[in-house]
Structure 1
Amino acid sequence: MTNHVTTTWLGGTTFESTNPSGHTIKIDTSPEHGGGSEGLRPKALMLTSLAGCSGLDVASLMKKMKLEVEEFKIETIANLTDEHPKYYDSAVIEYHFTGANLKEDKLKKAVDLSVEKYCGVMEMFRKFAKLDIKIFYHNK
């Protein structure tokens, strides 16, 4: 299976990228780098992809396991190298679950399955970055 994405220059430093789903996003850089700040930054978008990929896995597993979770968010904090080409050499991925009846063992299993088995973006990140997975339970 292949994916096909078309990224079109809109002028200046702004691009619009299509997705196989038919949705589009704008990509740009910050004013200090000559951009208009009209879209997402490419490297930050990689972190969004990482969290989104794993989040989709975990959300699907939470549904299958019939887990009660009021709020679920993923914080992704990555270190960018100093030298060009700058890339992420490490990242901390924090899974935050909030609820009154959290089943911590099952939530941990859902995260572990995503991290170790299902999330392809996580596997790609492992090729160039050290990953630190953390899970936080916020009981109400």
Structure 2
Amino acid sequence: MKFSLNNQAFQTELSYGNLTISGEDEHGFRPFALLVSSIAGCSGGVLRKVMEKQRIDFKDIQIEAEVERNEAEANRIEKISMHFIVYADNLSQKKAEKALAISSKNCSMVQSVIGSIDIVETIEVIPLEDN
């Protein structure tokens, strides 16, 4: 990957499109948001694959992420809490928790930050008839 400074942001061209990164919201994606997004996106993607391999039918997966930062240490990210909400019929809480545990062990982004950032993952199953 090659990054170039363009005014107030760095840019790189990826196969999907251009990515603009800046410490200021008005100039591009903030680095901390990209880090959290990559962890959530990886975890969610692996969870989806695990559930598909286990032949679990689901309508949707949503992820709510909360970040704790330490202002005294360069605003370092210290904890990311992710709450997964799976909309599915015939999925027990226990089976959903097992699928999440497998996905956590197989998500490269989560595994890359273990020991540096506390990752907390919870999962909730909402039956489709409730929607």
Which TM-score bucket, shorter chain as reference?
A: 0.7 to 0.9
In structure 2, how many angstroms separate the alpha carbons of the residues matched to 1:110 and 1:55? 11
In structure 2, how many angstroms separate the alpha carbons of the residues matched to 1:8 and 1:84? 27
SS in 2 for 1:91: strand
In structure 1, how many angstroms separate the alpha carbons of the residues matched to 2:72 and 2:57? 45
Residue aligning to 1:63: 52
In structure 2, how many angstroms separate the alpha carbons of the residues matched to 1:109 and 1:23? 35
Unaligned runs of 5+ in 2: none
In structure 2, how many angstroms separate the alpha carbons of the residues matched to 1:22 and 1:81? 33
Superposed CA offset, 1:18-66 (max 9, x none): 34x4543111233xxxxx6132110111000101111111111111111
1:28 maps to a residue whose letter is S
Residue aligning to 2:125: 137
SS in 1 for 2:26: coil
| RMSD (CA atoms) | 1.9
Q: Please give the TM-score of this superposition, normalised by the length of structure 2.
A: 0.84
Residue aligning to 2:98: 109
SS in 1 for 2:47: helix
> Number of matched residues?
128
2:34 pairs with one of 45, 67, 74: 45
Unaligned runs of 5+ in 1: 31-35
Superposed CA offset, 1:73-97 (max 9, x none): 1122111101242211112111111
Q: Which structure features the higher share of helix residues? A: 2
SS in 1 for 2:78: strand
Residue aligning to 1:54: 43
In structure 2, how many angstroms separate the alpha carbons of the residues matched to 1:17 and 1:46? 16
Change (3 A) 1:22 1:137: closer
SS in 2 for 1:97: strand
Residue aligning to 1:33: none
Change (3 A) 1:111 1:95: same
Are 1:67 and 1:103, in contact at CA under 8 Å, matched by a contact in 2? no
In structure 1, how many angstroms separate the alpha carbons of the residues matched to 2:123 and 2:16? 33
Return the offset for 1:111: 0.8
